[in-house]
Homo-oligomer: A and B are copies of this chain.
């Protein structure tokens, strides 16, 4: 920080009065190759970071001041909101970056209650020393993901922590979505007889992160499935307005999501392991590493629970969407074993799929 003392820069040397014509900013434009503490200080460096990096990416056409709060007009008075902080390592991986992941994750949480995403806020915790070029790539990827999903990044915040107190960048995204008056999608609506659908192959995100993190190479490269699911949900709801439950199986995978739904609804869920789509490469990679694909995180898949009479229509609607071509019916909601998820294995036996204790792959999102 630099504060001019009396006589001020530009002050007349004798009178001390300030002559604005001769006053010049004593600070040259700065060009830092990496994040420094001052970028989080709320002063000129912060302002430059916003002006030269965040604003061109997130709001290239916006005019006027950037305040601390954004003002939004909504189409109605019923909204959904959700928050998620992303701490994934590595920051860049096959199929995405922490930036696109942060947009997709939050758009998807809104989509899972049937809300149409409207606005996203972005909170950055940057670690001192983060290369500016890497931040620019991440922010660019985030902006593209938001643009492609048709959602605006409306306000943001940047903090900087000392080297060794972060991990490059953590991003919080909080989403606001518009919700139709008559829509009620939630785990408590699962009831015996309902059909469980899955929108496609599972395990891609987790194994993509794992392969990159551990430097593993498999037969063919595995890319994250990170994607925004709200248009798939819109198509599904157009075909089947009475969808009971939607859930994106992220941390803890399909196993954690279905266990949560079973617990929340007080019902049992029975799935057929053989019906769950898993790519051969992902299955092989999981076998090598001793992982169960049912527990591996996804970032572009959804589980849908629908009344039995709507199941085929739901399946068709999902398969007609680019993100649901491999959709499948994987099981049913049952009255037996409330609160539990049971899978029929390839050998015809049944096994209880418990809620995972933690995550087999930490820092996955």
Given A166-B166, A356-B43: A18 in contact with B81 (beta carbons within 8 A): no
- A75 CA / B115 CA spacing, docked (Å): 18
A288 within 8 A of B: no
Task: Say which size band chain A's interface belongs to.
Answer: 35 or more
A121 within 8 A of B: yes
CB <8 Å contact, B82 and A68: yes
- Which single member of B78, B121, B167, B355 contacts A174 (CB below 8 Å)? B121
- A360 CA / B37 CA spacing, docked (Å): 10
Within 8 A of B (CB), among A253-287: 255-256, 260, 264
- Which single member of B10, B43, B70 contacts A358 (CB below 8 Å)? B43
CB <8 Å contact, A4 and B352: yes
CB <8 Å contact, B252 and A43: yes
- A345 CA / B11 CA spacing, docked (Å): 14
- Which single member of B3, B18, B72, B79 contacts A78 (CB below 8 Å)? B72
CB <8 Å contact, B357 and A44: yes
Q: When each residue 346-365 of chain A gets 1 if its CB lies under 8 Å from chain B and 0 otherwise, what string results?
A: 01011111111111101100
- Which single member of B6, B27, B69, B336 contacts A351 (CB below 8 Å)? B6
CB <8 Å contact, A125 and B170: yes
Within 8 A of B (CB), among A281-299: 292, 295, 297
CB <8 Å contact, A83 and B156: yes
Cβ-closest chain B residue relative to A2:
B357
Within 8 A of B (CB), among A148-199: 154-157, 159-162, 164-167, 170, 172, 174-177, 179, 186-188
Q: Counting chain B CB atoms within 10 Å of each CB, which of A84, A174, A292 scores highest?
A: A174
Interface 9-mer from A106-114, A133-141, A218-226: A106-114
Given A18-B342, A172-B83, A351-B5: A77 in contact with B77 (beta carbons within 8 A): yes
